[in-house]
Structure 1
């Protein structure tokens, strides 16, 4: 049969790679690619530039997709210099990056996108979200990133903005062995920065027990004997077991370091059997130093807005250590049956200390007083995933194809001991200088210090199958698909905390000093006089522990029909049976933290439905096509959002309260895209999209909070999103010869708008708290009205040099909805300009120099021309060397 996908010319190498990466690819296409393997090496050598080959491969896959999708290949990621999947995906049309971890597709928050790894569901180490933080995946193990923006029945029905599939490198066709190393820094790192005494294993991203809960306290918690009603002697004894050496100190910043290794090969046996393997390992250590401003509580004085609670001197040092290991093994029989096994291990440790000086409504400059606070946040995130995949073709059954997958993954978040302490600075000599050493004392408060300990474990099992049968009838070339997809997810989370209550001291002069470890040293505790108030206060609350489970059973039918090489009609329907339960516990009693039976019933979330989709493609000519698609999808609340317990979002540091009974968002998706694929990878596409949403899940703010705003989850009444996307790649040889032959420009622009309608009373009824919402009609949270990506690239004639200048910017977007008459708080546009230069002195060697955030932009959040938050990002630079043996 003449396969529809072969209607477009495609290189055998590209076809082989794509068939190996995509489980739903036609088995017969994979067979044809393998049979043409002898031609592969010739074609690679003949490719004119490093850009053209990769751009052509990616464009060929994109235009052969039945539903609208954007794809980014490994070489494209390398050219832009992005270090992980999250930063690379911001280059894709209509995508923006939030907090360096989560992708917003077409202005829809991370809840509106789903993420897969090699086509399978994976666990998340984030305690507040279902979706996985995409910065976990280093770019060195990624073969390509696929973002499907138009829903198809083979995709999860939980589909709003799109589905991101991270496709990792697979078994090579020839021997591969390469090593690379890198060194770099940030211009903001050249001065001394704040650090604290961590553990001896911090260099490898593991706590050696320095931050861990002391055994005396851990045993009490384990036995449900919490730190309540302690005698003073018990409290002091327990405090002596606690690590108190977290005080910040200034020191020089070490350079960033990284290395990567890849080793792989494949072997033929008896011309029928091929086996192969690929092993990769990587390490990256990086430090970022920044200056921040944090405003927390605005107050309107006439026409002026002032912050009554803020930190205007914030110095932050964040160290990250990442490990990655991937092992792939595969066997192929007779080019018709292939089985692949993958093991992926990812570890990402974040270690941050903040030194902050500011004021509150009780501690003000007018009284010659300031508040000083230091905050240590340490977390280890890890993910382990085993995947087994099979692809089988049966020529004797009309080239019937059977694909199957099995994936078992576990993730964990280990925060063994975060700590915060607060001091008072009194300008006793009234010289206008608040000396942190001589004019300091630990605050006399119930929360002079706070220790938190957190654990989270996530487990996801995903298996499925796909059966496809090609069939030809006259001018019709058809393929019929049927499949099933089954996901089981379980999660458990545990949180413990206790505060240091300095009102336990009978004499406040005992608190004088600038070091937490000295003020509360063993000697100081032995010499102190105490009141009857215990110095340790357990502040673990009901809802800090929870378990959750989710199960999805899905079946789908699809048909892909070509008529006369002119029309392509694809579509089908998916049925999903979705069940979810979230149970918050009272850690002290281990009982469910709900007394109301109605609330208990709302924690169970059950629904089943059919989700149809159809796409029509009209081939205007050999290089031009027009696509139209429609799909019905759903977005469900995250695990913690259906529980009334309050939790802290580790990314924004805002407290968030879930809402039992939150409703599912129903979405109708419309897409129209015109695509023009031209010679040498040049292309142009223009797309229109529209989404009609019922009950969109949104964030609202609850008033009267002392500190960061309390964010609540609620349903808006209705919402819509619409826009236009333009994408292009063009070699500049059209301008003239000479240097122009070596230059190209590529990029994409997305212009869009959104609107949601909220009902104030309905939100009050749903959340149970006051919701003095300022704007009842506004844009979606996180939506940018424009996103621009531009790239100017250069490839030398001799192939020894390549360079890229890459620009990215997004329009302002709402992060905190406004209340009490204050407008919404917008994250301001961030103009990112990066440069990547690569030198290839010989066939085996690559030298790369990267310069990122050349414009030295900083992140800002503001409302009504009032700064709410800011953070410097600095300009990063790095030099790497790679050698292929």
Structure 2
């Protein structure tokens, strides 16, 4: 009704005034974006309040203008203001002015109006890109990140339909598909992982200060790498095209759980900065380590951050421009968890084999340095260099009290484990990118990257202390009854990964249309990705001897035991898995590593059959080689995966009208096993669960289908509904190996898996007003956004397949299961209020909520039900106020509801599909809690000063 009323009013007004007044119309184009239409630019008759903004197609109209001669001013945030003088308006006539706009060149610098906001930051501009795109890509820009108080890329992507985040990490699930199914790129070039356990880099390391936009493409096209099943997440780093600016920002805050403890504890060695490292000492078998076993009290756990951000651009000659942008930031965060952490339950009685009350003190840091330089010539050649350096660290003091093993260590309780872990990851990214318009018909794009990752775990320390007598769990403690040498250890790990990546493509445009564009685009290209991985780890185990002579131990004074009982006392020995000091080569680390090479060629065709129907089709061929060798406790060997993948893709877009689109997409892709998943190395990253790789692991093949309808009521609103389906051959899963240790490993656990889902998204303005003041309009807006997805997944589980294709044994409780990480329901919602109080003063407030239903963490095995993460709701409040042109203040309160985070083993259902007939019965005394805790609410206050 609002739209009909507006149209009727415009027509009525036009009929009354058309004969006595004139109009100014035209089209605005964006020279920065190959003369694409420029929407949402301001058009004003200077000296008046009469004006308008351009629409999605860059078109504008100022109607009802009194006859006369005027100066018309065109402006856009971050672009040069263009003033057109001597515009004559005549009664009953239309004056047409078509204006190209850019960030510089072609106009006097004195006429340039400068801001720090770029076109691609804008929510409306990104919504326009989504409307124009042929594939199903959703983008989130810096403007929306700021409005929703999003601090990193991991949180950003969870605002997109069908995406949820893994608790305690920056890894995401897209339509129920986890880490191994997704791919992460920076400016279109691939990024390495910062974690041996993951394929993708932790998105949480990318702070919002370095992000211009994040594109999430849930459908595959042949121009992208084919190792894709869920989404391609592309982070676009910030660029700058305006005049010089410099911002300083600082924040302070805290986590309610961390601030609520009487004393916060960490461990010896690491410092405030997060740049700590420690090497193995020269004579480790003589116990020459210089760090303490004991925990250390620290000050008040206050969170803080500080950042510097600036940019400038310079016009060189008549048609060239140099742009510079840089960010430097540091932040730290304290967190505290306490709760329950249990091992897998026994089938017979439902009791967990290990049962702990635990506490975790965590101090993390994030240091970011990003800079880029761009040089543009004649609007036809653009070259950019990007540098990104990230240093992230996590320091944890973990303490576990209870039963270590119901049949062995501390069977009645009273056991104590403490683990002190510092992990540091440093990432260096160098990128050189080029865009060239060689002629009206030919474009060439290229890019190259060198990436380097170093992951360190220096001197992880673990102590295990048991009651002197099992029947007296509250009595004195000692090392006497500790059964495994590895329960007390010092561990050193280093991962080095280097990667070179290259993109090259050429586009030929043909069949010119009436709008001076082209209906056809043919692109051919090449992608290369060459990675080397080098991992080594050494663990020094403390084996305790002469149990009858072992003294009592104060769990808070572990150092005291070693001070009073030196190595020469003969109460303990130090050795690696290769042996002690007397064994040659005992200091040789466990290692795995290798190389991965991907060479790909592709061709894509974009063709507009008519104004409504557009096709985007592609073919891609990838040659993949992955070689890995290892020397670990599992032995010394090597393995090679060598395969060629042929990957077609097809997308169709049908414009029902100027506001509605209908889209269809289908493709074939694959899922490649990662080095860790194929490396036989025992990872002991969790107190209650170990894992190792499977060298027999093979690719999965994915078939993807999407259908979506979209409605764009206005330039800032969207309503969409979509359905999708996936069929996966040879799916990869994490599963519980049938063995005495019950470790986790990876396998192609069945022949097929399916996923079907529906997605609904809406973004509407509940109301928006413009209040006229002396020389401007003040905007007021209340907007509502939300999305919901429903997902149904199923996979066939075959224990026999695992046994036949690998050296491992599986005993799946059921023959079917949902996909790992898949929630049936995911809901995101936010409501935002924006009000301009006066020039350079405004208020922005947002309430954002997220919910995901329970999801599979690990497959049910050996008579147990599935291990499930329970769903929960998060609620955030974010507000900021621009006080004047220099000062901005912001407050945020995140995770206000502070829900219980819980993981449970469910009762078993269905049949036991196992090749192991000795597995007894089913778990019936459940569900059994495996993990539960609260992570607290995060509160912060931020002040920004702009020069």
Which residue does 2:624 correspond to in 1?
A: 578
| 1:393 is aligned to 2:437 | yes
2:193 and 2:306 map into 1 onto residues whose CA distance is 25
Given that 1:260 and 1:281 are in contact with CA atoms closer than 8 Å, whether structure 2 keeps it comes out as yes
Q: Contact 1:128/1:649 (CA < 8 Å) preserved in 2?
A: no
1:440 aligns with 2:477: yes
Determine the C-alpha separation between the residues in 2 that align with 1:467 and 1:19. Answer: 29
CA distance in 2, matches of 1:884, 1:158: 43
Deviation at 1:525, TM superposition (A): 1.6
Change in Cα spacing, 1:65 to 1:6, as seen in structure 2 (3 Å) is farther
> 2:139·2:214 contact (CA, 8 Å) conserved in 1?
yes
Is the 8 Å Cα contact of residues 78 and 114 (structure 2) preserved in structure 1? no
Cα deviations across residues 151-192 of structure 1 (Å, max 9, x unaligned)? 111111111011010111013322121010000001112223
The partner residue of 1:656 within 683, 691, 705 is: 691
Q: Is the contact made by 1:464 and 1:483 (CA closer than 8 Å) also made in structure 2?
A: yes
1:856 Cα shift? 0.9
**Contact 1:292/1:871 (CA < 8 Å) preserved in 2?**
yes
Distance, in Å, in 2 between the alignment partners of 1:462 and 1:811 is 38
| Local SS of the residue matching 2:682 | strand
Aligned length: 828
Counterpart CA distance in 2 for 1:765 and 1:18 is 62
* Residue in 1 that maps onto 2:737: 702
Shift of 1:33: 5.0
| 1:512–1:748 CA distance, 2 compared to 1 (3 A) | closer
Q: How does 1:714-725 map to 2 (within 5 A)?
A: 714-725=748-759
For residue 216 of structure 1, the aligned residue among 274, 278, 283 is 283
**Residues 414 and 466 in structure 2, CA contact (< 8 A), matched pair in contact too:** yes
Alpha-carbon distance in structure 2 between the residues aligned to 1:276 and 1:495 = 44
Residue in structure 1 matching 2:761, options 713, 727, 733? 727
5+ unaligned residues in a row in structure 1: which ranges? 21-29, 218-234, 595-599
Q: Does the 8 Å CA contact 1:477/1:561 hold for their aligned counterparts?
A: yes
1:593 maps onto 2:636 in alignment: yes
Q: Which residue matches 1:278?
A: 325
Distance 2:733 2:783 in 1: 41
- Greater shift, 138-147 or 540-549, is seen at 540-549
Please report how far the alpha carbon of residue 55 of structure 1 lies from its aligned counterpart in structure 2 after TM superposition. Answer: 2.1
Does the C-alpha gap of structure 1 residues 699 and 40 become closer, same or farther in structure 2, counting only changes over 3 Å? farther
For 1:530, the equivalent position in structure 2 comes to 570
Q: Flag the 1:560–1:55 CA change in 2: closer, same or farther, 3 A.
A: same
Please report how far the alpha carbon of residue 265 of structure 1 lies from its aligned counterpart in structure 2 after TM superposition. 0.3
Normalised to the residue count of structure 2, the TM-score between the two structures is: 0.81
Structure 2 CA distance for partners of 1:512 and 1:861, relative to 1, 3 Å: closer
- Aligned pair in 2 of structure 1 residues 8, 564: CA closer, same or farther (>3 Å)? farther
Indicate which of 296, 309, 325 corresponds to 1:262: 309
1:874 counterpart (920, 926, 936): 936
Conserved in 2, the CA contact under 8 Å of 1:693 and 1:720?
yes
Q: Sort the Cα spacing of 1:829 and 1:513 in 2 relative to 1 into closer, same or farther, 3 A.
A: closer
1:746 aligns with 2:785: yes
| Counterpart in the other structure of 1:26 | none
Match of 2:811 in 1: 772
1:629 match: 665
Indicate the RMSD between aligned Cα atoms, in angstroms.
Answer: 3.6
Q: Deviations over 1:664-720 (max 9, x none)?
A: 1111111111111121401111111111111111122124555x7433333321011
Please report how far the alpha carbon of residue 621 of structure 1 lies from its aligned counterpart in structure 2 after TM superposition.
0.7
Instruction: Tell me how far 1:759 sits from its aligned partner.
Output: 1.4
| Alpha carbons 1:703, 1:710 under 8 Å: kept | no
Question: Distance between the aligned counterparts of 1:6 and 1:628, measured in 2?
Answer: 28
* Counterpart pick for 1:611 among 647, 659, 665: 647
Q: Indicate the larger mover: 356-365 or 65-74.
A: 356-365
SS of match in other structure, 1:86: helix
Give 3-state SS (helix, strand or coil) of 1:213's partner.
coil
SS for the counterpart of 1:75 is helix
Cα distance in 2 between the residues matched to 1:80 and 1:473: 42
Residue of structure 1 in register with 2:250 after alignment? 181
Residue among 698, 701, 707 paired with 1:672:
707
SS of 1:870's partner is: strand
In structure 1, the residue matched to 2:64 is none
- State the alpha-carbon separation in 2 of the partners of residues 270 and 336 from structure 1: 15
Q: Which residue of 1 aligns with 2:828?
A: 789
Task: Tell me what 2:51 maps to.
Answer: none
Q: Give the Cα separation in 2 of the matches to 1:752 and 1:44.
A: 48
Is 1:822 aligned with 2:864?
A: yes
Single out whichever of 248-257 and 564-573 deviates more from structure 2.
248-257
**1:298 is paired with a residue of what secondary structure?**
coil
How far residue 136 of structure 1 moved from its aligned partner, in angstroms, is 1.7
Q: How far apart are residue 524 of structure 1 and its match?
A: 2.4
Residue 797 of structure 1 and its aligned partner are, at CA, apart by 3.9
Partners in 2 of 1:688 and 1:156 — Cα distance?
A: 24
Structure 2 Cα separation of the partners of residues 264 and 52 of structure 1: 16
Cα distance change on mapping 1:156 and 1:141 into 2, 3 Å: same
- Partner Cα distance (1:293, 1:843) in 2: 50
Structure 1 residue aligned with 2:136 = 68
Change (3 A) 1:12 1:39: farther
Matching residue of 1:103: 172
Give the superposition deviation at 1:877: 0.2
Structure 2, unaligned stretches of length 5 or more? Answer: 1-26, 43-55, 59-74, 80-98, 580-585, 773-777, 907-926
Rg comparison, structure with higher value: 2
Render the CA deviation track for 1:243-297: whole Å, top value 9, x for unaligned.
3512124554331110111111000022222112111100001110111311103
Where does 1:32-181 land on structure 2 (aligned, <5 Å)? 33=102, 54-98=122-166, 99-181=168-250
Give runs of aligned pairs for residues 197-216 of structure 1, distance below 5 A.
197-199=267-269, 202-207=271-276, 209=278, 212-216=279-283
Per-residue deviation, 1:659: 2.2
Which residue of the partner structure matches residue 683 of structure 1? Answer: 718
- With CA pairs under 8 Å and 6+ residues apart, which has the higher RCO, 1 or 2? 1
Deviation at 1:140, TM superposition (A): 1.0
Q: Give me the whole-angstrom Cα distance separating, in 1, the residues matched to 2:530 and 2:240.
A: 29
Q: 1:535 offset after TM fit, Å? A: 4.5
Give the direction of change, closer, same or farther, for the CA distance of 1:614–1:159 in structure 2 (3 Å limit). Answer: same
Match of 1:456 among 470, 495, 501: 495
TM-score if structure 1 supplies the norm length? Answer: 0.87
**Aligned residues of 1:808 and 1:831 also touching (Cα < 8 A):** yes
